[in-house]
Chain A
Amino acid sequence: MRRTGLTIAVILALVMLLPQAAFAKTTIADVKVAVDTVWVIVTACLVLFMQAGFAMLEVGFSRMKNVGSVVAKILANMGIGLVVFWAFGFAIAFGTGNAVFGTEGWFTSAAPGEVDKVFAGLSWTEVPLGAKFLFEVAFALVSLAIVWGTMLERTKFAVYCVFAVVFAGFIYPTVGHWIWGGGWLSGLGMQDFAGSTVVHLQGAVAALAGTLLLGPRLGKYDDEGRPRTIPGHNMPLAVLGVIILWIGWWGFNPGSTMAAVGAPFAYIALTTNLAAGAGVLGAMVASYLHRRIIDVGMLGNGALAALVAITASCAFVAPWASIVIGFVAAVVMYATYIFVERLRVDDPLGAIASHGMGGVWGTLSTGLFATPQLVKEIGVGDPGLFYGGGLHQLGVQALGILAAGGFTFATSYIVFAILKATIGLRVKPHQELDGLDVSEHGVYGYAESLVATDEYREAVTLDSGGREG
């Protein structure tokens, strides 16, 4: 009995003393890094989860015969993007280098204690290198996913794979370096907090380049050149995709603080969500005024355009301004969608309108609405035109759009042109008409709707019919 009591006393003493010993060397700074790291990893998960949103959005807007190819493409792009961005992209974007490229940190490696020296572009955040990479690669994957929204239902699978290597390994990181990695646009004070230009405009511009070379789906335009609606097969799935993306944006914008302690992430979440709400309203008004109906797809695109627009400005603008930005983004998206469709650019998802024009408007909007107080807190650029900042910031933002858009369009067009001249961009017409699921992947997304999968049941039915007869 006495021995048992002694054992219990020793165990209790150890339990009480060990945590103290463990925390004896832990400083407040260590706890801050740990909390920040948890925040960055959680938000990286949310951003990566946006791939599910893109998958559902694209599946919903596709016809049944093509849904398998959509999800296969999303998975392949995640795999390729992750590996290529790890090997080259992260170094080009955030490695220490010149005003155009990062030249250090290939294969996301740095000697212990030299991480900030090798990756100067992200030295402002104290989280470990792994967390930095995981957060940034999730952004690169979002940009890559945007590219394919316009090229659905007719593109060869090999094109997705080859372009993913070039985009994730060179095109996206280069512009990323200019604006986020200490490059020349960052030196000018360009404000793009979470990537209206870096992520969304780039994706949309690359998509435009690809779509111009690819051409519209068979049957998209009638004999007089008027656009015909090719409805997606499942609107609820498309809207689910939009809502997943909306939730993903809780990681995209607030997570871009890359710190939790002392960072204004709750404020950023507020402006982000206000803009998204206003975007839905803007699309609703535009859709009703134009066609006297509330178009479900347009509501989703309105939310997305607003979220894209507020991405650049979420940390710089007042809540009322975020509502204006979101509402205008949706109206601009609607007008652009109609315009682009009439130009014979077949964009099944409306990615050029929502991510492209949303990106342009959002990037310009900080030059208009950025408040002096928030600009001072974030420490990038100058206040906007409406707050007495003059035209300087607006000019820098416009220059950034032209430079990033021009570079991305030119390089993407060259890559797609080479692909068209060598392996071709489009599947054969009979493959397009049969659907990419069976021609490219050998399986249907919805097999039971398109082929007989339960022959046993048919046999039983016939037998019983015979007996009854």
Chain B
Amino acid sequence: MAEKPMAQAAARGNTIVNVYADRVEIVSGWQGQHTERIPHRSIADVRVRGLVNCTLTISTNEGRVYRLEHMALPDANEIRAAIGHQKRKAGLYG
């Protein structure tokens, strides 16, 4: 049975962000053919900018930055909160 994400949101250009217990997956591409997996322990920072067409920025410890544009504010906040919750739960935030 497929794992159910804790939080999910759509961003610009066929991009879907899924938050799971241990990782974030960014699915992109016309047929969802590209999947980027980011373990929570690798996430350094998550920010939401804007009110209407929001940009969710996920920065990793390796220096990679994922910018997900044109998101609805409630969706972006939900993703940020879910990542924050999982990191706190795992003791990954100091």
Q: Does A430 contact B (CB under 8 A)?
A: yes
When the two chains form their complex, are residues B52 and A417 in contact, meaning their CB atoms are under 8 A apart? yes
CA distance A228 to B31 in the complex (A): 11
Interchain nearest-CB distance for A381 vs B (Å)? 40
User: What are 24 A-to-B residue pairs whose CB atoms are below 8 Å?
Assistant: A213-B52, A215-B12, A215-B70, A218-B10, A218-B14, A218-B16, A219-B14, A219-B30, A219-B31, A221-B13, A221-B14, A228-B30, A420-B53, A421-B73, A421-B74, A422-B73, A424-B72, A424-B73, A425-B72, A426-B72, A426-B75, A429-B8, A429-B9, A432-B10
Interchain nearest-CB distance for B77 vs A (Å)? 10
When the two chains form their complex, are residues A222 and B30 in contact, meaning their CB atoms are under 8 A apart? yes
Contact of A429 among B10, B30, B31, B72 (CB under 8 A): B10
When the two chains form their complex, are residues B13 and A424 in contact, meaning their CB atoms are under 8 A apart? no
Q: Which of chain B's residues 1-42 have a Cβ closer than 8 Å to chain A? A: 5, 8-10, 12-14, 16, 29-31
Chain B, interface size category, equals: 10 to 19
Q: Does A423 contact B (CB under 8 A)?
A: yes
When the two chains form their complex, are residues B30 and A420 in contact, meaning their CB atoms are under 8 A apart? no
Task: Mark contacts of B36-69 with chain A using CB atoms, 8 A cut-off: 1 yes-contact digit, 0 otherwise.
Answer: 0000000000000001110000000000000000
Which B residues fall within an 8 A CB radius of A? 5, 8-10, 12-14, 16, 29-31, 51-53, 70, 72-75
Q: Does A428 contact B (CB under 8 A)?
A: yes
Interchain nearest-CB distance for A138 vs B (Å)? 33
Interchain nearest-CB distance for A383 vs B (Å)? 46
When the two chains form their complex, are residues A428 and B8 in contact, meaning their CB atoms are under 8 A apart? yes
Q: Which of chain A's residues 363-393 have a Cβ closer than 8 Å to chain B? A: none
Q: A420-B72, A430-B5 are in contact. List 10 more A-B contacts (CB 8 A).
A: A213-B53, A221-B30, A222-B30, A228-B30, A420-B53, A421-B73, A424-B75, A425-B72, A429-B10, A429-B16
Q: Does A223 contact B (CB under 8 A)?
A: yes
Residue of B52, B53, B74 contacting most chain A CB atoms (<10 Å): B52
Interface residues of B: mostly helix, strand, loop or mixed?
loop
CA distance A67 to B65 in the complex (A): 39
When the two chains form their complex, are residues B72 and A223 in contact, meaning their CB atoms are under 8 A apart? no
Which A residues fall within an 8 A CB radius of B? 213, 215, 218-219, 221-223, 228, 417, 420-426, 428-430, 432
Q: Enumerate chain B residues within 8 angstroms of A426, measured Cβ to Cβ.
A: 10, 72, 75
CA distance A425 to B73 in the complex (A): 10
When the two chains form their complex, are residues A422 and B29 in contact, meaning their CB atoms are under 8 A apart? no
Please judge, given known A-B contacts A420-B73, A425-B72, whether A223 and B16 are in contact too, CB under 8 Å. Answer: no
CA distance A228 to B14 in the complex (A): 12
CA distance A399 to B53 in the complex (A): 31
Interchain nearest-CB distance for A79 vs B (Å)? 26
CA distance A218 to B8 in the complex (A): 14
CA distance A99 to B82 in the complex (A): 51
Please judge, given known A-B contacts A213-B53, A429-B9, whether A424 and B74 are in contact too, CB under 8 Å. Answer: yes
CB-nearest residue of chain B relative to A218? B14
Interchain nearest-CB distance for B42 vs A (Å)? 23
CB-nearest residue of chain A relative to B30? A222
Q: Enumerate chain A residues within 8 angstroms of B16, measured Cβ to Cβ.
A: 218, 429
Interchain nearest-CB distance for B17 vs A (Å)? 9
Q: Enumerate chain B residues within 8 angstroms of A428, measured Cβ to Cβ.
A: 8-10
Interchain nearest-CB distance for B36 vs A (Å)? 15
Interchain nearest-CB distance for B33 vs A (Å)? 8
